[in-house]
Amino acid sequence: MKKVLSGVWVVGLATLMTTACAFDHQTSVLVPTSADAVNNTPPAVSGGGNSPGAGTTSTPSLVGTYVSASAAPTLPDPKTCGNFQYQIASQTPSSISGTFTGQCGGGLTISGSASGTLNGTAVTLTATGTASMPGIPNCPFTLTGNGTVEDNGNTLRMPFSGETCLGPVSGTEVMRRPQPAVVSTISEPTPVSPGVNQHLSGVRTTFVVANASHSGPVGPLVYTFEVATDEGFANKFGIWNVPEQPNQTSLALPQDFSYASVYYWHVRAFDGATTGPWSRTLALATGNPPAPGPPSGDPTFGCSTANKEKLVECIHDHVNPARTVEGAFEVTKRVATVNRDDVETSLEVHRIPGRCTVQLGPVALTLSWVRTRPDTVATGRLMIIEWEGHIGRPGSTGGPGAVPLRETVLRADATRVDDWQWRSDEVAGYAYDSNELAAHCVDSLAYALQDRAR
CA-CA distance, 208 to 223, in Å (whole number)?
A: 11
User: Which of 88-102, 222-236, 295-309 reaches the highest mean pLDDT?
Assistant: 222-236
Residue 267 in this model has a pLDDT that exceeds 90: yes
Length of the chain (residues): 454
Provide the pLDDT for residue 299: 53
Q: Which residues contact 358 (CB under 8 A, 6 or more apart)?
A: 332, 333, 336, 347, 348, 349, 364, 365, 366, 441, 445
Which CA distances in Å does 143 have to 17, 22, 193, 367, 417? 10, 16, 69, 106, 94
- Between 180 and 232, name the one with better pLDDT: 232
**Has residue 51 got a pLDDT over 80?**
no
Band (285; pLDDT cuts 50, 70, 90): very high
Phi-psi region of 377 (alpha: psi -120 to 50; beta: other; left: phi over 0): alpha
DSSP class of residue 324 equals -
Determine how β-strand 198-200 pairs with β-strand 282-286.
parallel
DSSP character at residue 318: H
Task: Name the CA radius of gyration of the chain, rounded.
Answer: 46
What's the pLDDT score for residue 28? 37
Instruction: Tell me the C-alpha distance between 101 and 330, whole Å.
Output: 94
Quick one: pLDDT band at residue 4, thresholds 50, 70, 90? very low
Round to whole Å and give the CA distance between 283 and 228: 10
Average pLDDT over residues 264-274: 95
Signed CA dihedral, 294, 299, 302, 303: sign only:
positive
Measured CA to CA, the distance from residue 109 to residue 138 in angstroms comes to: 10
The confidence score (pLDDT) of residue 132 equals 83
Cβ atoms within 10 Å, residue 236: 12
Query: Which of 173, 152, 180 is closest to 19 using CA atoms?
Result: 173
pTM as predicted: 0.40
CA distances from 428 to 135, 410, 425 (A): 112, 12, 7
What's the rounded mean pLDDT across residues 220-243? 96
Among 8-12, 138-142, 323-327, 388-392, name the one with the lowest average pLDDT.
8-12
| pLDDT tens figures, 429-442 | 777 776 677 777 77
Which comes out higher in pLDDT, residue 374 or 275?
Answer: 275
Q: Name residues whose C-beta falls within 8 Å of residue 417's C-beta, 6 or more positions apart in sequence.
A: 322, 323, 324
Fold of 185-286: Immunoglobulin-like (2.60.40)
Q: Is the pLDDT of residue 96 over 60?
A: yes
The answer to whether 243 touches 286, Cβ cutoff 8 Å, is no
- Nearest alpha carbon to residue 383 among 356, 403, 401: 356
Determine the Cα angle at 34 with ends 32 and 36, to 5°: 165
Instruction: Answer with the residue of higher pLDDT: 228 or 404.
Output: 228
Which residue type does 270 have? Answer: F
Domain boundaries, the chain: 9-176, 185-286, 308-453
In the chain, the percentage of residues whose pLDDT exceeds 70 is 63
Angle at 63 between CA 60 and CA 68, to 5 degrees: 100
| pLDDT for position 311 | 58
Q: What are phi and psi of 324, to 5 degrees?
A: -100, 170
- CA-closest candidate to residue 146, choices 245, 32, 7: 7
Residue 188: the pLDDT is 96
pLDDT tier at 135 (50, 70, 90 boundaries)? confident
pLDDT tens digits along 138-162? 888 788 889 899 988 899 888 888 8
The helix/strand/coil state of 110 is strand
Amino acid at 76: P
Which has the higher per-residue pLDDT, 338 or 350? 350
242: number of Cβ within 10 Å: 18
For the stretch 5-20, pLDDT in tens is 333 333 333 333 333 3
Say which DSSP state 28 is in: B
At residue 88 the predicted structure's pLDDT band, cuts being 50, 70 and 90, is very high
